[in-house]
Chains A and B, each alone.
Chain A
């Protein structure tokens, strides 16, 4: 049996202090295997994004332990965490979050700017084009985001997430701003990446058809895991 790539145990997260304290996650225990696709579903405010941020190393102010790729998130230094996000994780957001003043390929290659090692400019561009081809955007390499459709924007965002060959792809409602047809295409792309490239995909979604397509679907409610629906063999 494959070792879990993500091991979350007894994770509690709250915002504010004293009377204003608002706990969003309660004793979360969760293991995710490498190459698995997982969807997190739940109502708004149930703590889905918070959980995703913790896994992605965007938030380390929590109690409990979160081990991703054998690294304890809460123990990492600021620099280690930045490197971890750069090399291990790929983020895809609902609102695409592209830099509007950069072309598609520049957006894709942005993460290379923050890499510790030196890479040649031509290699960067080559890799960016390669990834854009992977998401079928060969003809939009030099296009600026305002000239792209919603689906194309999200593909650029996915290409950006894939640029550094991440182990884990974290997607926060990736189809939320897309029409159902485009959304379906995007989900198919995630599916391909998961199956063909063996990338662990974690998707936050409201859509049932998205959650049904993943190996497991985790239902969060008020910061607690309500249920885990497994399509195939369970992990736990």
Chain B
């Protein structure tokens, strides 16, 4: 029997039994509805977790907490020599080149060389180093800008990155960027702000006694009594000592970035709880440019801080970036290096002691974006061989939890679908008993058993196809409704996604496919039964 003829016959049959079949299909539609909704929810949440909270492609390489730092054995080197991955300098005495020896050493610190090695890996898309501040700090400020009765005061964590690893946008680019949705913005630093080291520029700035003495967006270094400036004589003929006066230097505040993660936390938890304004496209202007004092070397947690005398510096928020430290502030790496050096342990001659040198000579971590998920294992093995490890983000655990919950929900929807398939089977047994005589006629005019079977199974497949599409449409509408509720009714929470659901093509196809498969499965036994009916018996009068 050709497919067109079969479909022609089957569609007419469905039309005839439409009421019965609609009733029988309700279960399948509900099951597929639940299936598509639950699965798309699981996928949507995974996307939020993997994309925003713990990006799957982002690996933060850090030195091991305990590192034996042993050299590999010679025979190990030979073993690896055969590997294409490594290059051996072809010298007569077989001396290994520097790059090679680097690869076979267990390293303790992330040096420039290591960063270069990591950057050159085929699995790596981008890699940039970070330097953590190795001393405590307290941030204080925001009273005027946020119209508060008292300044915000918080212990902060900070790190530094190279400004060239950021996208610093000009005026036009900034305008365009603000038009995009939050997840798709490209600019890390928006016009007119700059993320760079201002030390050189600061030398050109004048002196001051208060902030107003300096030009706009430049601050007076009021709280650094250790740097007292003696202003040159304004009247050359007078006694210089008489006019000796303490002046401070005007200086640019240290530009800092905060993470999108922190922004989410602020908008979702901190701002609603304390009545602070949220950071949105409209209010971004208020937050960018916000400057605050950072008391370097001070801690809110313990009175025992560093030996070096604390001092205060002005910091200024210049951007919101995914590259910033999740909880804390990120500054140009040169500032971090300078500050770490300032607070590093020193000997009597005021030289930095050797074991403290790594604090400003090496990086605390290297943030790596891998090309594809499949390369993660290879890359992790590589950094492990170099003596480093990956910063644990708990992403795997959370991913497993999501997978488990999604799995249970999908299982429930499968149970619904299976029960519905049994219902389909029941309906088909009824339909077949009603059409018994018809089956007899078809057999009498030449239909064989497989013709009869395929008529019923195709009928069920078409039904399943329609059910799949209906289930999918219902699921999609429900997800839109839930998204609407999340956005309009539910209070803000961190990482509130644009949509909590995701409908990739495979989900759409598999929902329809499951509909088809389960309906066919339901019709299989009745169809088989129908095909075995003897025509002479089927044609007997009722």
Contacts and interface: CB of A to CB of B under 8 A. Distances in A.
B535 interface: yes
Interface string B413-453: 00000000000000000000000011011111111110100
Contacts of B451: 82, 113-114
A93 interface: yes
A79 B448 contact: yes
B505 to A, nearest CB: 34
A202 B9 CA distance: 30
Contact of A78 (B1, B16, B446, B449): B449
B446 A111 contact: yes
Interface stretch (A95-103, A189-197, A207-215): A95-103
Interface string A74-111: 00001100110111000101010101011000100011
A91 B444 contact: yes
Contacts of B1: 113-114
Nearest to A84: B446
A99 B441 contact: yes
A115 interface: yes
Chain B's interface size range is 20 to 34
A53 interface: yes
A97 B16 CA distance: 17
B444 A85 contact: yes
A86 B541 contact: no
B443 A95 contact: no
Interface in B1-34: 1-2, 4-6, 9, 12-13, 15-16
B112 interface: no
A111 B13 contact: no
Given A59-B534, A118-B2, A97 B539 contact: yes
A111 B536 contact: no
B206 to A, nearest CB: 94
A83 B445 CA distance: 9
Given A78-B448, A85-B445, A101 B539 contact: no
Nearest to A100: B16
Interface in A188-230: none
A97 B446 contact: no
A106 B437 CA distance: 18
Contacts of B12: 101-102, 106
B455 to A, nearest CB: 9
A99 B15 CA distance: 13
Contact of B443 (A58, A102, A160, A164): A58
A58 B451 CA distance: 16
Contact of B444 (A56, A79, A118): A56
A98 to B, nearest CB: 8
B446 A85 contact: yes
Given A114-B451, A118-B2, A95 B445 contact: no
Contacts of B16: 101
B541 A114 contact: no
Contacts of B441: 93, 97, 99
A89 to B, nearest CB: 8
Interface in B501-542: 534-536, 539, 541
A18 interface: no
Given A95-B541, A101-B12, A115 B535 contact: no
Interface residues of A, number: 31
Given A101-B16, A102-B12, A121-B4, A93 B446 contact: no
Given A97-B437, A101-B16, A114-B1, A58 B535 contact: yes
A58 B536 contact: yes
Interface in A111-143: 111-115, 118, 121
A58 B539 contact: yes
B445 to A, nearest CB: 4
B296 to A, nearest CB: 86
A42 to B, nearest CB: 17
Contacts, number: 72
Contacts of B6: 113
Contacts of B444: 56, 58, 85, 91
Contacts of B440: 97
A113 B9 contact: yes
Interface string B308-328: 000000000000000000000
Interface string B443-471: 11111110100000000000000000000
A111 B539 contact: no
Interface in A28-60: 50, 53, 56, 58-59
Nearest to A96: B441
Contact of B539 (A93, A102, A114, A121): A93
B536 A86 contact: no
Contacts of A58: 443-444, 534-536, 539
Q: Among A83, A113, A161, which residue has the most Cβ atoms of chain B within 10 A?
A: A113
Nearest to A113: B5
B188 to A, nearest CB: 65
Contacts of A111: 445-446
Contacts of B2: 118
Given A101-B12, A118-B2, A59 B536 contact: yes
A102 B13 CA distance: 9
A83 B446 contact: yes
Contacts of A164: 446
A56 to B, nearest CB: 7
Contact of B446 (A59, A82, A99, A102): A82
A53 B12 CA distance: 29
B456 to A, nearest CB: 14
Contacts of B539: 53, 58, 93, 97
Given A95-B541, A101-B16, A114 B536 contact: no
B79 to A, nearest CB: 66
Given A97-B539, A101-B12, A114 B437 contact: no
A78 B451 CA distance: 12
Given A53-B539, A113-B6, A160-B445, 7 more contacts: A53-B536, A59-B535, A83-B446, A87-B446, A99-B438, A106-B12, A164-B446
14 contacts: A58-B443, A59-B535, A83-B446, A83-B448, A86-B445, A91-B445, A93-B441, A97-B437, A97-B539, A99-B438, A99-B441, A113-B447, A114-B451, A115-B446
Interface of A: 50, 53, 56, 58-59, 78-79, 82-83, 85-87, 91, 93, 95, 97, 99, 101-102, 106, 110-115, 118, 121, 160-161, 164
Top-7 shortest CB links A-B: A86-B446, A82-B448, A111-B445, A59-B536, A114-B446, A58-B536, A101-B16
Interface of B: 1-2, 4-6, 9, 12-13, 15-16, 437-438, 440-449, 451, 534-536, 539, 541
